[in-house]
Structure 1
Amino acid sequence: MKRTIVIATLTAAALAAGGTVAAFGAGDDEATAQRQTGTNARAAADRDDASADGDFTDDSADDDRTAAPRGSVTAADAIAAALKHTPGTALAADFEDDGAGAWEVTVVQRDGSEHDVRIAPDSGKVLGAQRDADDGNDRDDRAELAAVKGASTDAREAAQAAAAKGTVVEVGLDDDNGAVAWSAETVKGGEHGEWKVALDSGRVTQDRDED
């Protein structure tokens, strides 16, 4: 009888000790899990913050376009089509590759109103035209417009001249220290180029400022 009591007592003590050990073990596992969860959460937060700051973003993306516009309509063609629809002075043409893709031509009419005309890259048809609320009221815009109106080379001719360097994806005005000139961007062989086209002579030179 005493032996049975002793065995029972030892067994109870072992179970009690085991239960205590298990409880501590469970507590350790929970603490470890919490520490790991907290560490993972902090790491995720750090990654999110770094992504927001741009530290871990893909720096391989480049703003310079190296792909030619889809369709057979050139920048010069798009400008001609836009001016036929909305007569005036073309100040810029840019291929907007936003899915379907279209040329966007900026035209200033005689009354000073500025319009954005969208041209289909495959057919040259006008997809739409919208008046710009700013209407070129900025002093620099008025100065550039005045320079263009007295120039021998217009936007369409500038696009044609720059096409000798590659496929034109954008043409517009550039005011470099008071000297206004046409600025054109081209792509050729997967490479991006930037050029200046003189307002008077139409001479094309490389834009060294953008190297």
Structure 2
Amino acid sequence: MKRNIVIATVTAAALIGGGTVAAYASADDGNAPTQRQTNVRVADDRDDAADDRNEAADDRNDAADDRDDAADDRNDDADDRSDDATEARASKITSADAIASALKNTPGTAVSADRDDDGAGAWDVNVVKGDGTEYSVQVSPDTAKVVGAQRDDDDDNDGREDLAALKGASVDAREAAEAGAAKGTVTDVDLDDDGPAAWSVETTRGEWKVDLKTGKVTQDHDDDTAQGNGQDDRDGDDD
């Protein structure tokens, strides 16, 4: 009888012990995947943070590149303006004189005048006929004589659009050039039809707008040169 009790006791102990081991094993099996998943999430978060830092660095580099490009553009514009100014000062004929000569040779409406960069430095005056056809008229910078005139055969509506923009205007290109000359030696006259139409006049001292009806000269606020020179054109008069 005692022997049976001992065997039963040992068996129960074994069962209890086995259950404990199984319980521990079961607990270990449930915790291991959870721990691995936590480690993976932490690693992913670190990777995401690193990616964010890299993207922020790329954005900073892109912004720096944009600033460098803008600086290069300003330098290029300054160089172009300097070259134009040198040529304009060397010319014995003003832009207004060149426009007048071009219109005598090729009657129509002058819509622009600037210096050629082909080495001869002639004034290139763009004239539009009443039917919208355009002509490029070259005028000698020394004698004001017309040295060439070619029809622009491009099939576009630029000429007609320019005529439409100038409809009702009281100030022509020559008068705009004369008005702009009060702000420096004129290097370029062009019709600016972005927004309210106006004459755009570039001089050795910056860029200016000339009103089509009143002839009033105001500073082109998109131009940094005139602003950098501290020029104030609120009254439309010279400093």
TM-score, normalization: structure 2?
A: 0.57
Task: Give, in angstroms, the shift of residue 160 of structure 1.
Answer: 0.3
- Between the aligned partners of 1:146 and 1:77, the Cα distance in structure 2 is 25
Q: What is the alpha-carbon distance in structure 1 between the residues aligned to residue 168 and residue 145 of structure 2?
A: 29
Distance in 2, Cα, partners of 1:82 & 1:119: 7
**Alpha carbons of structure 1 residues 123 and 180: separation in structure 2 relative to 1, 3 Å:** same
Task: Specify which of 148, 161, 182 is matched with residue 164 of structure 1.
Answer: 182
- Secondary structure of the residue aligned to 1:124 is coil
Shift of the alpha carbon at 1:112? Answer: 1.7
Q: What is the distance in 1 between the residues matched to 2:166 and 2:177?
A: 14
State the partner residue of 2:20.
none
Please point out which of 112, 128, 141 is paired with 1:121. 141
Structure 2 Cα separation of the partners of residues 135 and 90 of structure 1 = 19
Per the alignment, residue 210 of structure 1 pairs with 223
Whichever residue aligns with residue 67 of structure 1, its letter is T
What is the Cα deviation at residue 97 of structure 1?
3.7
Between 1 and 2, higher relative CO (CA 8 Å, sep ≥ 6) is seen in: 1
Tell me by how many angstroms 1:148 deviates: 1.4
Q: Distance in 2 between matches of 1:143 and 1:114?
A: 11
Q: Which has the higher helix share?
A: 2
Matches within 5 A, 1:1-211: 61=76, 62-65=79-82, 66-69=85-88, 70-134=90-154, 136-138=156-158, 141-177=159-195, 179-187=196-204, 192-211=205-224
Q: Please give the secondary structure, in 2, of the residue aligned with 1:170.
A: strand
CA change 1:75–1:135 in 2 (3 A) is: farther
Asked if the contact 2:112–2:173 (Cα under 8 Å) also holds between the matched residues in 1, the reply is yes
Contact 1:112 1:135 in 2 (8 A): no
Q: Deviations over 1:79-118 (max 9, x none)?
A: 0000000000000000124312100000001222100000
CA contact (8 A) 2:206 2:223 kept: no
Matched to 1:76, the amino acid is A
Task: Find the aligned partners of 1:208 and 1:75 in 2 and give their Cα distance.
Answer: 23
Would you say the 8 A contact 1:78–1:124 is kept in 2? Answer: yes
The 2-side partners of 1:118 and 1:160 are apart by 19
- Residue 171 of structure 1 aligns to a residue in which SS? strand
Distance (Å, rounded) in 2 between the aligned partners of 1:160 and 1:196 = 12
The number of residue pairs the alignment matches comes to: 148
Kindly indicate whether the alpha-carbon contact (under 8 Å) linking 1:153 and 1:198 is maintained by their aligned counterparts in 2.
Answer: yes
- Contact 2:138/2:147 (8 A) holds in 1: yes
If each structure's strand is expressed as a fraction of its own residues, which one has the higher value?
1
Partner of 1:40: none
**1:78–1:198 distance in 2 versus 1, CA, 3 Å:** same
Aligned to 2:200, the other structure's residue is in SS state strand
Structure 1, unmatched stretches of 5+, are: 1-53
Question: 1:100 is paired with a residue of what secondary structure?
Answer: coil
Which residue number in structure 2 is paired with residue 15 of structure 1? Answer: none
